[in-house]
């Protein structure tokens, strides 16, 4: 199926089509294992069609949901991190001197 045809489908139709193609892919794998597969190139075509449909479905789902940005970390957290690092550096000094 061409990508223009796939983009015309709804998300439910895409999910149904992917399910149908996965069943066909299973049957082709079974035929290959038993030595009954005549058209070996069909395996590759099915695999690529599934990937194409999943990709377009992900793009459609991303277009439907709004993007929420994460809040920036407060600068106070950075100060406490550096203060902790300075405190650790002081505590790593040896208490006893070597002779």
- Smallest CA-to-CA distance from 85 within 77, 73, 95 is with 77
pTM (two decimals): 0.64
Q: How many CB atoms lie within 10 A of CB 3?
A: 12
Give the distance from CA 45 to its chain's centroid.
22
Residues 4-42 pLDDT 10s: 999 999 999 999 999 999 999 999 999 999 999 999 999
Domain ranges of the chain: 3-90
| CATH number 1.10.287.310 given to 3-90 | yes
């Amino acid at each position: 199926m061409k990508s223009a045809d796939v983009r015309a489908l709804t998300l439910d139709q895409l999910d149904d089509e992917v399910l149908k193609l996965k069943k066909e892919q299973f049957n082709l794998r079974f035929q290959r294992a038993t030595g009954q597969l005549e058209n070996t190139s069909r395996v590759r075509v099915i695999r690529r069609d599934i990937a194409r449909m999943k990709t377009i479905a992900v793009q459609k789902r991303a277009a439907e949901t709004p993007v929420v940005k994460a809040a920036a970390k407060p600068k106070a957290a950075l100060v406490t991190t550096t203060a902790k690092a300075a405190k650790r550096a002081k505590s790593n000094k040896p208490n006893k001197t070597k002779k």
